Chain A
Amino acid sequence: MKQHAMIRAALVATLVTALTQGVTARAQDLTDVNEIVKRANHAAYYQGKDGKAVVKMTIRDAQGRERQRELTILRLNTDDRDEGQKFYVYLHAPADVRGTVFMVHKHIGRDDDRWLYLPGLDVVRRIAASDERTSFVGSHFFYEDVSGRGLDEDDHELVETTANFYVVKNTPKDPRQVEFDSYKVYVHKGTFLPVKIEYEKGGKVYRTAQALEVQEIQGYQTVTRAKMEDINIGGETVMEYTTVTYEVGLPDNIFTERFLRNAPREYLR
């Protein structure tokens, strides 16, 4: 347990130094919280016109038992306002769910459209998206963590500016929709990547997302290893982005129901 904590501390330390070294000249600190969250949102979800990532997901339960999943996430921005987006998530492993596809058309201001394709049953189903805070393929991440949470759903407050981070506290406008009271995001000043998110309920942090590794890919600072912990459930999930490519040139038509059954294989490897 203790050893675990130490490894974690070491990881964060390396990460922080890596990030600070990566930035040479630093602009004047920002004070406008809306600007900060806007940039952070862009850095986390909207870099490039499109993107592709092959992800190795390790779900570890409270007893340390692991399950592996392997998936490809395709993403296409449908506007340049950092709003509309389309996702195509294809599962490679385990073998018995290979070919399963989750597709999301993300909208700001209204519910997203979500689809699910299950090859073993040969069914395509739309999934009512009233609640996005459900588990993403059984991991500790939620759908919302993968596709992003609308900026207008929370009130933002810049609570602290440290040497490296803007600390933004976000309080939901409609607390009935979510299970937390608020969450704090540590936005790295240089890259605007949110490197740590702490969800609170009743004054206690119970859920923590962390960026464990950041790399520059095609000029974009990219989180390549991320972890989500939940002390209520116990255990954690680590997502490892083994290959990340930006500006793939994904055609818009692959984000349609037709391509659920016939996966665009050339874009998935």
Chain B
Amino acid sequence: MNRGMRMVEFSMNRPRLVTGVMIAMTAVLLLLAALPTLFPGVFFMLPPLRVDTDPENMLSSDEPVRVFHNQMKKALTLYDIVVVGVVNDKDPDGVFNPASLEKIHRLTEFAKTLRWPRRDDPTQYDGVVVSELLAPSTVDNIEQGGLGEVRFEWLMPEPPRTREEALAIRDKAMRLPFLKGTLVSESGKMISLYLPITAKDQSYRVYSALRREIATYDGDEQYHITGLPVANDTFGVEMFIQMAISAPLAMLVIFLLMLVFFRKLVLIVSPMIVAILSVIWTMGLLVITGNTVHIMSSMIPIFIMPIAVLDSIHILSEFFERYQLTKDRRKTLTDVMRTLFMPMLYTTLTSMAGFTSLSLTPIPPVQVFGIFVAIGIAAAWFLTMCFIPAYIMFIPQKKLENFGAVHAAGADEKPAAHTPVERILGRLDRFTWRRVKLIFAGAAVLAVLSVYGMSTIVINDNPTKWFKASHPIRVADTVLNEHFGGTYMAYLALRPTGAAESAEDFLAGMRERLEAFVRDHEGMSPGLVEAAAALRENADAAGARGADADALLAEAADFIEERLAAAAGDAAYAWEDLARFIGVERQRGELYKQPETLRYLEQMQQALEATAIVGKTNSIADLVKTVHRELFEGADEAYRIPDTASAVAQCLLTFESSHRPNDLYHFVTPDYREGSIWVQLKSGDNQDMNRVVNAIAAFTTENPPPFGLEPEWFGLTYINVVWQDKMVWGMAQSFLGAFLIVLLMMIVLFRSGLWGLLSMIPLSLTIALIYGVMGFAGKDYDMPVAVLSALTLGLAVDFAIHFLARSREIYAEKGTWAEAHSEVFGEPARAIMRNVIVVAVGFLPLLLAPLVPYITVGFFMAAILFLSGATTLVLLPALIKTLEPLLFPKTRVCTVTCHCGTCIVSGLAAVAVVAVNVQQFLHLGWTTLSWVSLAVLPLIAASCWLLSRRAQCAPPDDKPSC
């Protein structure tokens, strides 16, 4: 305390020096951050500003699900996709009229131009992957040409001229399972174009270019652009724009409100400066240390600002109240700082604890966010302590002549309630003094309701829903998911992970298959029986030598070649047949050509589609079935998986003779060992994705996949589930840890377990109320809400600290709560109320933001301040009145260890803190930890009891020493 006050005094004595140093530091930080950004490469020691809007980076890049996602994306050449839906409500046939299709064709041609030479390698392109674009003019139609004829042709080589031609295009597409519900809506009235992009961060550029192009089209068509990459990237971009709008707007409102309260422009500029400098310092440091400015970090300023202003408002408020008593800047300031120093220090520490706890979550950007907000809060505290006093010293005395509350009738008498704030507080004071029971009853009812509300909270998230319902992306999302199979992509991979068949099993199986082959072919191939016998002998001999399957087959193939070269006539044909048999045996590893695999995929797709969340699935099975159907005159009953691997292979070969043979390799790898089902979901909600995942888990338990194939999910929709899940639970855990740490801090601050618990009551009730209301309102517990819990924790305890610290101080002066309470409801309560109004109202403009997380921040900020202010001013005085004898004992020794209760409470909190954090880092099960903790507790209780019985803890005879 003394050291702290010395810092304040130093600032008052040397205002110029302090201000100069402050400006210099700001300038240095600004330059270090800005120069490498503006002149990249010149300052090679320093990293430039790097912006990263990819929510995938919420998971660290070596996270297994991301590694697998990238591995499969590469193996199957999958791209992130921008979806453009085209709708025509005016035409009875939707977009299937010549005019609309012409525009779709034009838009497709335009989309093909949306690629740009890569900066680091101009021979490569970024943007749309032209060869993979899905549009009526770029996909194939397979159909019957005439009797016994199959036709491959572009679905729409050029825009149709007549209505009939337009409808013909629709009918063709509706017959192709991989186009229906994907390219053409189920209703047959809309078309979606799918633009694969080289990287997710290209999607906003593509999105903007498409919007500009579409703006030049006339006609009745509406265009909807969506897809997760667009939502993600657009969100990132708009988030930064919002930052530039919201933060200054909030500052402006706060500024105006302060002007109303303090009426002195020159004075209220100082909190603004503190807030802005804290933000510059923090963000500067963030850039200099080489951290990317991620979506999360872009929100740092909006978190730092209110916290930075809070302390200044307390100081100004006090200064305002007291200045007229002395008319001396220095003396008033010293008094104010002496009173406020400890509460301000602790409110800062608790807020920092709340945010630092985020560094324990397993999400890297959240860690960075938490640490830097904590740094910002520290910076704000430091600036408040140094700069505000220095600044006030700069203001000429005469400028402050008419500043502050005028205490007409002297200091001892109560000032007349002449402002609304004072009138309200006066009433509150009387209410809390008289209606203690009513207050407790009310609080109990609210608490019970809140707990019930909290129990109904649903943990769920969907990045698309971070946009308001009226945002074009949300509109597009709604429209497209209503009419198409779904725009949220997830992939279900099936890969062989089990051990290979043993050599003995393989040989036995092969002998059986050879027997069947001979049975099928001996009629047409004389000499086959003898040749097969020779082959079997050869294979058995190889097997006896211990050759594995590959070696055995290689040897058999050589053996056949040898005989084939020597043979002539029928014998040669027989060996030829056996060569084919061995060839197929060698391809048994090509699992995705085996009918069993394809039939299993088919069943799995049915299971997926039965969930009602999945609108559509595509797999290699659909390709094979479609080709098979068209090879058999388009008959519906031929829409099935053929019976042999070679029949499957030949269907695939037929497909490969189209315009887009490589489409096949989005479903299966070229070695036919790994593949995936494309799953289109109509909803990107985590809960929905989870439901699908569970449905498939149940399906595979009942129906184990053939060939030891193992299912595994990937795709953006699935990744979102993983990181959001991690985030929400990690956040909940770190929240618990931070809560305990704050409790410990409060015990230390007040040197009392009871006081510590007391100060946590408004905080707990505030949290319960906020989340209770969320539960009742049906708002999902999502990523932004999870992050905000840290803010709640840090801010909601502040008022209680100020209130209790001042109550204790005033009580010491007055001796009884009956005497003290009115004074507490004077100046200290006014400072709290002013803070509530300034910051809560200041953040209300955020409710108008187009991005839901900003609205959430605005709502939380207002709710935290309002509720914690209300609980502090209503509940705490009632509690103090009731607990007065316990809270203010007549005799006491000021050592924590002398208070058995305090000691036990601190011990419990400490053990819990350790337990919560150790659990996070060591991944110990709760049960082990619980046992250890339980064992520790009696030890603590016992040692506390012993400590409090020490001689030096015995109450002194004469009077209380504190």
Contact = CB atoms under 8 A, between A and B. Distances in A.
Given A95-B586, A128-B145, A134 B658 contact: yes
A119 B151 CA distance: 19
A126 B77 contact: no
Interface string B533-553: 000000000000000000000
A249 interface: no
Interface string A112-147: 000010111101111110110111111000010000
Given A95-B583, A96-B583, A135 B658 contact: yes
B157 interface: yes
Nearest to B582: A95
A134 B152 CA distance: 8
A108 B648 CA distance: 35
Contacts, number: 132
A69 B131 CA distance: 24
B77 A137 contact: no
B953 interface: no
A120 B657 contact: no
B694 to A, nearest CB: 34
B74 A127 contact: no
B89 interface: no
Given A95-B586, A135-B659, A136-B657, A121 B149 contact: no
A230 B130 CA distance: 12
A66 B669 CA distance: 11
A136 B651 CA distance: 14
Contact of A126 (B149, B573, B642): B149
B148 A96 contact: no
A97 interface: yes
Interface in A24-76: 61-63, 65-67
Interface centre among B153, B576, B654 (most CB of A within 10 A): B654
Given A100-B650, A135-B658, A138-B656, A176 B158 contact: yes
B315 to A, nearest CB: 64
Interface in B616-667: 628, 631-632, 642, 644-651, 653-654, 656-659, 661-662, 664-665
A120 B145 contact: no
A147 B653 CA distance: 19
Contacts of B153: 128, 130-131
B662 A233 contact: yes
Contacts of A230: 131
A67 B670 contact: yes
Contacts of A94: 583, 587, 649
B211 interface: no
Interface in A153-194: 176
B871 to A, nearest CB: 61
B776 interface: no
B17 interface: no
A127 B158 CA distance: 22
B580 interface: yes
Given A61-B670, A130-B151, A120 B580 contact: no
Contact of B653 (A65, A100, A126, A131): A100
Nearest to B145: A128
A141 to B, nearest CB: 11
A136 B631 CA distance: 18
A265 interface: yes
Interface size range of chain B in the complex: 35 or more
Contacts of B576: 265
A48 B145 CA distance: 35
A231 to B, nearest CB: 8
B77 A131 contact: no
Contacts of B644: 120
Contacts of A135: 656-659, 661
A152 B648 CA distance: 39
Contacts of B665: 61
B646 A125 contact: no
B148 A124 contact: yes
Contacts of A265: 572-573, 576
A36 to B, nearest CB: 31
A258 to B, nearest CB: 15
A54 to B, nearest CB: 15
A120 B646 contact: yes
A135 B665 CA distance: 14
Contact of A96 (B593, B669, B670): B593
A65 B146 CA distance: 38
Contact of B149 (A66, A91, A125): A125
A125 B146 CA distance: 10
B859 interface: no
A123 B670 contact: no
B167 interface: no
Nearest to A98: B580
A98 B587 CA distance: 12
B78 interface: no
A15 interface: no
B584 interface: yes
Given A97-B650, A120-B650, A125 B148 contact: yes
B150 interface: yes
A234 B198 CA distance: 13
A97 B653 contact: yes
A128 B657 contact: no
Contacts of B346: none
A232 B669 CA distance: 19
Interface string B111-148: 00000000000000000001100000000100001101
A93 interface: yes
Contacts of B656: 135, 137-138
Contacts of B593: 96
Nearest to B144: A128
A118 B152 contact: no
Contact of B657 (A95, A130, A134, A232): A134
Nearest to A234: B131
Contacts of A138: 653, 656-657, 661, 664
B382 interface: no
B154 interface: yes
Contacts of B587: 94-96
A63 B73 CA distance: 12
A126 B150 contact: yes
Interface centre among A97, A130, A138, A176 (most CB of B within 10 A): A138
A61 B665 CA distance: 10
A66 B671 CA distance: 9
Given A94-B587, A100-B653, A134 B151 contact: no
A61 B662 contact: yes
A33 B632 CA distance: 46
Contacts of A121: 628, 631, 642, 647, 650-651
Contact of A131 (B154, B579, B628): B154
B151 A97 contact: no
A127 B583 contact: no
Contacts of A176: 157-158
A123 B631 contact: yes
B145 A97 contact: no
Interface in B567-625: 572-573, 576, 579-580, 582-584, 586-587, 590, 593
12 contacts: A95-B583, A97-B653, A118-B631, A118-B650, A125-B150, A126-B148, A130-B151, A131-B153, A135-B659, A138-B657, A138-B661, A233-B662
Given A65-B669, A95-B582, A126-B145, 11 more contacts: A63-B77, A95-B580, A95-B584, A121-B647, A125-B148, A126-B149, A127-B152, A127-B657, A128-B146, A137-B656, A176-B157
Interface of B: 74, 77, 130-131, 140, 145-146, 148-154, 157-158, 572-573, 576, 579-580, 582-584, 586-587, 590, 593, 628, 631-632, 642, 644-651, 653-654, 656-659, 661-662, 664-665, 669-671
9 shortest interchain CB distances as A-B pairs: A95-B583, A138-B656, A128-B145, A96-B649, A128-B151, A120-B646, A120-B647, A96-B646, A118-B650
Interface of A: 61-63, 65-67, 91, 93-100, 116, 118-121, 123-128, 130-131, 133-138, 143, 176, 230, 232-234, 265
